């Protein structure tokens, strides 16, 4: 096992991962962010170098201060050899099983079956068409009404509303996580005439489009398509592949994404959420 810190090695790793898209999308996005300012303060672990079979990205140890916070303790993995991946999973220096964490792996269920974990199947969607900042391009996806809505910027004052409307959030850990996404990664939102939040889309440490949502009273007007597109434009300008995740059984969202010009990839992925039995710290 080795932690990669050399910029030239990390840049080479990014090049290698891009040859294995779309399977390597999460790990590639994480490595791209590490090579571009590293806003989430992540690091890269490989089983060996330069001939590696497993790539794991994770937060630096000092980043995750709360052992029960699986939101900030975010890992990605890409591997060629399931035995090498299993060996790395069992290495306490690679993954701290004493902390709650989540991991987005290449695809398929994890090779270990520890207690107190859950997996969720989801699909990736992606876009291969060129994007621009042209408002006309955005208007193809949003029946633009400048008298009702306008694009704005998310800030910490919006975090509570985002957290309240996130089905797997609604706790203090998720609130802090969403606030960190707002401050560190590309996002977009629509505001009404009173500058109140209408719709939003974020991106995360994997370079993934995520948390697209429109408040119920504003639905049916193309709002989420507009903010998704606007966030995608920002990511594209930084060189990121454009992709996001959708639950495998969410057919309405899949159809809406197809109408926006995205393609559903024929890959079923599993996110691992692990919560250990933790005793309170005295």
**Distance (Å, rounded) from C-alpha 270 to C-alpha 262?**
20
**Residue 137: its pLDDT value, please?**
45
Give the mean pLDDT of the chain.
87
- Reply yes or no on whether the pLDDT at 159 is more than 80: yes
- Reply yes or no on whether the pLDDT at 16 is more than 90: yes
**Residue 136: its pLDDT value, please?**
45
- Reply yes or no on whether the pLDDT at 141 is more than 50: no
**Residue 143: its pLDDT value, please?**
52
- Reply yes or no on whether the pLDDT at 131 is more than 70: no
**pTM value?**
0.90
- In the chain, what's the furthest Cα-to-Cα distance? 59
Provide the pLDDT confidence category of residue 276 given band limits of 50, 70 and 90: confident
**Residue 278: its pLDDT value, please?**
47
What is the arithmetic mean of pLDDT over 136-158? 72
**Residue 258: its pLDDT value, please?**
85
More confident: 278 or 103: 103
- Reply yes or no on whether the pLDDT at 75 is more than 80: yes
Q: Are 38 and 20 in contact (CB under 8 A)?
A: no
**Residue 279: its pLDDT value, please?**
43
What is the arithmetic mean of pLDDT over 113-121? 59
Q: Is 222 left (phi over 0), alpha (psi -120 to 50) or beta?
A: left
Provide the pLDDT confidence category of residue 280 given band limits of 50, 70 and 90: very low
**Residue 200: its pLDDT value, please?**
97
**Distance (Å, rounded) from C-alpha 199 to C-alpha 148?**
13
CATH superfamily of 126-267: Gcn5-related N-acetyltransferase (GNAT) (3.40.630.30)
pLDDT digits (tens, 9 = 90+) for 211-252: 999 999 999 888 888 899 899 999 999 999 999 988 888 888
What is the arithmetic mean of pLDDT over 253-261? 82
């Amino acid at each position: 096992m080795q932690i990669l810190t050399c910029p030239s090695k990390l840049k080479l790793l990014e090049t290698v991962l891009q040859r294995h898209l779309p399977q390597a999308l999460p790990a590639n996005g994480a490595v791209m962010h590490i090579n571009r300012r590293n806003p989430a303060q992540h690091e890269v672990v490989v089983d060996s170098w330069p001939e590696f079979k497993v790539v794991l990205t994770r937060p630096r140890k000092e980043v995750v201060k709360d052992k029960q916070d699986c939101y900030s303790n975010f890992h990605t993995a890409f591997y060629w050899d399931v035995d090498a991946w299993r060996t790395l999973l069992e290495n306490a220096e690679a993954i701290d099983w004493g902390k709650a964490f989540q991991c987005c792996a290449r695809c398929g269920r994890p090779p270990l079956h520890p207690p107190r974990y859950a997996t969720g199947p989801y699909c990736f969607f992606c876009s291969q068409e060129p994007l621009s900042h042209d408002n006309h391009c955005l208007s193809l996806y949003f029946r633009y009404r400048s008298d009702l809505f306008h694009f704005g910027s998310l800030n910490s004052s919006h975090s509570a509303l985002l957290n309240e409307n996130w089905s797997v959030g609604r706790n203090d850990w998720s609130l802090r996580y969403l606030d960190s996404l707002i401050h560190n990664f590309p996002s977009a939102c629509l505001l009404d005439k009173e500058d109140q939040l209408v719709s939003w889309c974020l991106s995360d440490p994997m370079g993934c489009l995520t948390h697209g949502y429109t408040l119920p009273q504003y639905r049916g007007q193309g709002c989420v398509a507009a903010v998704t597109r606007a966030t995608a434009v920002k990511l594209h300008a930084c060189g990121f592949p454009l992709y996001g995740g959708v639950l495998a059984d969410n057919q309405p969202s899949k159809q809406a994404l197809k109408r926006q010009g995205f393609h559903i990839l024929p890959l079923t992925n599993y996110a691992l959420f692990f919560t250990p039995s933790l005793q309170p710290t005295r």
